[in-house]
């Protein structure tokens, strides 16, 4: 199958990992994939975005920057249309981005099956975290693209509910969560009962809402138990604040920040964690780190909320705590820190869960290809029926 992959990413962060991992898996499965995105994406480094785009964001007022995002649909559409003419794809797959209408418009014009990957309700997310100015326009643009897709592929059931509430028929929504390359993560060795230091680990882009500040304060308040060090792997806007908190609490020697690490270094890094942390998560997300923790066979501590329960089960594959309850989080950490057998059991069960439910990029590629083939057959059938009935080929048949 020939898949035209459209995106508007600017940075090589978790989003880039998802994009590149899925594309690689599709190609490994024998599909031809042509990726079309902003030229600046190729020049952005790990955890960074194009310098040109970053400069534009700084210089333009908020509403003007958002209008510029919408205006990018025009060159994006032209680039995508040119690629479609040269590549002759069977399906158009797009990673949804706010104010970006190119894929929806081109798929409609060419009659291409249109699959839309949705990782978050971006209008809602940017209103909450990004000071979105043109909220009504953003909401309209997001709903327009969702409703034009033949299949919407949200990463969680929680997000699927949000998409359905926006007017997308439930039968056109298929959940495809994040994944991992299982071969990169060898089985974990047994926990060592005699360890004198327990490594509590976190990996990912470091933001304030991750709740690591509460973890630091809990570390400072504990009175007894094994020696625990917190290792934070990643970079982000919250790092300086966390370093300042650790210094103020007098626990800097127990907190290590590695900075950015390469994707290739992730499995080895996680193998050194005794306990893997997901201190907080937005309600609709499919956190990539959780799948990596599972593949690495780590004992996981995560919030007890619906999107996390789609993947993890309390006492079987993780210890889950009431979201926002720092005392409960730390109680779970201390329980694991003093119980190597429990760490082993939870870690092994988490890895087996990832294997049995095929939380892999290869599995996601297979699912996407199957969905694309189903849609392609349906679109072809609809065109034939439309021609027979005298309707426009792109008009949806009566349901």
User: What does the alpha-carbon distance between residue 386 and residue 395 come to, in Å, rounded to a whole number?
Assistant: 8
For the chain, the farthest-separated pair of C-alpha atoms sits apart, in whole angstroms, at: 78
Whether 376 is covered by a domain: the verdict is yes
User: What does the alpha-carbon distance between residue 255 and residue 243 come to, in Å, rounded to a whole number?
Assistant: 8
Predicted pLDDT of residue 398: 42
1 burial (CB, 10 Å; 0-12 / 13-18 / 19+) is middle
Predicted pLDDT of residue 320: 98
Whether 395 is covered by a domain: the verdict is no
Half-sphere exposure of 252 (CA within 13 A, CB side): 9
User: What does the alpha-carbon distance between residue 152 and residue 351 come to, in Å, rounded to a whole number?
Assistant: 28
Burial 336-353 (b: 16+ CB within 10 A, else e): bbeebebbbbbbbbbbeb
- Indicate whether 290 and 380 sit together in one domain: no
Instruction: Look up tokens 């789609």; give the residue.
Output: 310
Q: What is the pLDDT along the chain (399 residues), one digit of tens a residue?
A: 999 999 999 777 778 899 999 999 999 999 999 999 998 776 655 555 555 555 555 666 668 989 999 999 999 999 999 999 999 999 999 999 999 999 999 999 999 999 999 999 999 999 998 889 999 999 999 999 999 999 999 999 999 999 999 999 999 999 999 999 999 998 877 766 667 899 999 999 898 888 999 999 999 987 677 899 999 999 999 999 999 999 999 999 999 999 999 889 999 999 999 999 999 999 999 999 999 999 999 999 999 999 999 999 999 999 999 999 999 999 999 999 999 999 999 999 999 999 999 999 999 999 999 999 999 988 776 666 656 666 555 444 443
- Indicate whether 233 and 126 sit together in one domain: no
Whether 152 is covered by a domain: the verdict is yes
φ, ψ at 33 (rounded to 5°)? -125, 125
What CATH number did the domain enclosing 332 receive? 3.40.50.2000
Are 91 and 26 in contact, with CB atoms under 8 Å apart?
no
Are 215 and 246 in contact, with CB atoms under 8 Å apart?
no
Whether 165 is covered by a domain: the verdict is yes
Number of domains in the chain: 2
Cβ partners under 8 Å of residue 62, min gap 6: 131, 132, 133
- Indicate whether 21 and 82 sit together in one domain: yes
Whether 157 is covered by a domain: the verdict is yes
Predicted pLDDT of residue 379: 76
- Indicate whether 163 and 123 sit together in one domain: yes
Q: Closest Cα to residue 277, out of 352, 196, 216, 354?
A: 216
User: What does the alpha-carbon distance between residue 121 and residue 154 come to, in Å, rounded to a whole number?
Assistant: 9
User: What does the alpha-carbon distance between residue 116 and residue 91 come to, in Å, rounded to a whole number?
Assistant: 11
Q: Which strand (E) or helix (H) includes residue 2? A: strand 2-6
Q: What is the pTM of this model?
A: 0.90
Whether 45 is covered by a domain: the verdict is yes
- Indicate whether 274 and 338 sit together in one domain: yes
- Indicate whether 39 and 88 sit together in one domain: yes
Length of the chain: 399
- Indicate whether 348 and 227 sit together in one domain: yes
Predicted pLDDT of residue 385: 64
- Indicate whether 108 and 194 sit together in one domain: no
- Indicate whether 35 and 155 sit together in one domain: yes
Q: Can you give the residue range of the structural domain that contains 106?
A: 2-179+360-389
* DSSP per-residue string spanning 327-358: HHHHHHHHHHHT-HHHHHHHHHHHHHHHHHTT
Cβ partners under 8 Å of residue 391, min gap 6: 385, 397
- Indicate whether 324 and 364 sit together in one domain: no
Beta bridge partners of 91: 3
Whether 398 is covered by a domain: the verdict is no
278 burial (CB, 10 Å; 0-12 / 13-18 / 19+) is buried
- Indicate whether 159 and 223 sit together in one domain: no
Predicted pLDDT of residue 394: 47
Rounded to the nearest 10°, the torsion over CA 18, 19, 22, 25 is -120
Q: Which strand (E) or helix (H) includes residue 114? A: strand 114-118
- Indicate whether 339 and 370 sit together in one domain: no
CA–CA–CA angle 329, 334, 338 (5° rounding): 155
What are the structure tokens assigned to 287, written together? 């956190």
Whether 394 is covered by a domain: the verdict is no
């Amino acid at each position: 199958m020939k898949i035209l992959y459209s995106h508007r990413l600017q940075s090589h962060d978790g989003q880039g990992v998802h994009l590149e991992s899925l594309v690689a898996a599709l190609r490994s499965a024998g599909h031809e994939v042509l990726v079309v995105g902003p030229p600046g994406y190729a020049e952005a480094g790990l955890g960074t975005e194009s310098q040109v785009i970053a400069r534009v964001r700084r210089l333009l007022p908020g509403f003007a920057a958002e209008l510029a995002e919408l205006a990018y649909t025009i060159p994006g559409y032209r680039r995508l249309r040119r690629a479609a003419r040269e590549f002759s794809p069977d399906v158009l797959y797009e990673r949804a981005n706010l104010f970006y209408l190119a894929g929806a418009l081109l798929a409609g014009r060419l009659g291409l099956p249109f699959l839309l990957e949705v990782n978050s309700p971006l209008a809602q997310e940017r209103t909450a975290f990004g000071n979105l100015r043109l909220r009504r326009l953003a909401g309209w643009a997001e709903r327009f693209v969702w409703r034009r897709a033949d299949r919407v592929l949200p990463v969680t059931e929680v997000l699927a509910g949000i998409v359905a509430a926006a007017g997308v028929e439930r039968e056109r929504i298929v959940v495809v969560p994040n994944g991992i390359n299982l071969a990169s993560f060898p089985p974990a060795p047994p926990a060592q009962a005699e360890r004198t230091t327990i490594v509590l680990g976190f990996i990912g882009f470091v933001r304030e809402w991750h709740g690591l500040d509460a973890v630091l304060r809990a570390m400072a308040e504990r009175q007894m138990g094994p020696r625990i060090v917190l290792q934070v792997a990643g970079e982000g806007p919250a790092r300086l604040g966390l370093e300042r908190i650790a210094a103020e609490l007098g626990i800097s020697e127990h907190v290590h920040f590695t900075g950015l690490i390469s994707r290739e270094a992730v499995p080895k890094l996680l193998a050194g964690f005794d306990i893997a942390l997901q201190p907080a998560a937005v309600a609709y997300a499919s956190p990539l780190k959780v799948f990596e923790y599972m593949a690495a066979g780590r004992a996981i501590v995560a919030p007890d909320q619906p999107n996390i329960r789609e993947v993890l089960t309390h006492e079987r594959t993780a210890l889950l705590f009431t979201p926002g309850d720092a005392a409960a989080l730390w109680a779970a950490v201390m329980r694991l820190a003093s119980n190597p057998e429990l760490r082993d059991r939870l870690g092994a069960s988490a890895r087996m869960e990832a294997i049995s439910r095929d939380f892999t990029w290869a599995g996601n590629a297979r699912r996407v290809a199957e969905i694309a083939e189903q849609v392609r057959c349906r679109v072809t059938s609809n065109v034939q029926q439309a021609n027979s009935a005298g309707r426009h080929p792109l008009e949806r048949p009566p349901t």
